[in-house]
Amino acid sequence: MARARRVVGAMLALVLVLPGGAEAFPINAPNARTLFGGFTLGSARLRLTQEATLKEGTESVADPLDQAVTTFEEDFTFVYGATRDLTLAVTLPIVERRLRFDGPAGERRTITADGPGDLTLAGAYRVFRRDVERGTTQFSLLGGLKLPSGATDLEDSNLPRLTGTPGTRLPPSLQLGSGSVDGIVGLAGFQNIDRLSFYADVQGKLNTEGAQDFRSGDRLFYDLSADYVLLPGRNMFLILELNGVVTAHAEQDGRTVRNSGGHVLFLSPGIQYLPIPPLILEAGIQIPIYRDPNGRQLVPDWSVVVGLRYLF
Task: Read off the pLDDT of residues 117-163 as tens digits, 9 standing for 90 and up.
Answer: 999 999 999 999 998 887 899 999 999 999 999 999 999 999 999 99
Beta strand 219-229 with 135-147 is unpaired
**Number of alpha helices (DSSP H) and beta strands (DSSP E) in the chain:** 2, 17
pTM above 0.85, yes or no: yes
d(CA 5, CA 11): 10
CATH code at position 150 = 2.40.160.40
What average pLDDT score do residues 50-74 get?
97
pLDDT exceeds cutoff 70 at 3? no
pLDDT exceeds cutoff 90 at 233? no
Please indicate whether residue 24 or residue 183 has the higher confidence score (pLDDT): 183
Q: Give the domain extent around 78.
A: 2-311
Torsion from C-alpha of 70, 178, 156, 53, nearest 10 degrees: 30
Answer whether 223's CB lies under 8 Å from 26's CB: yes
pLDDT exceeds cutoff 90 at 279? no
pLDDT at 311: 85
d(CA 235, CA 275): 7
pLDDT in tens, 104-129: 888 999 999 999 999 999 999 999 99
pLDDT in tens, 192-202: 988 899 999 99
pLDDT at 94: 98
How many structural domains comprise the chain? 1
- 232 burial level (CB within 10 Å; 0-12, 13-18, 19+): exposed
Measure Cα distances from 303 to 11, 52, 111, 246 in Å. Answer: 17, 12, 20, 18
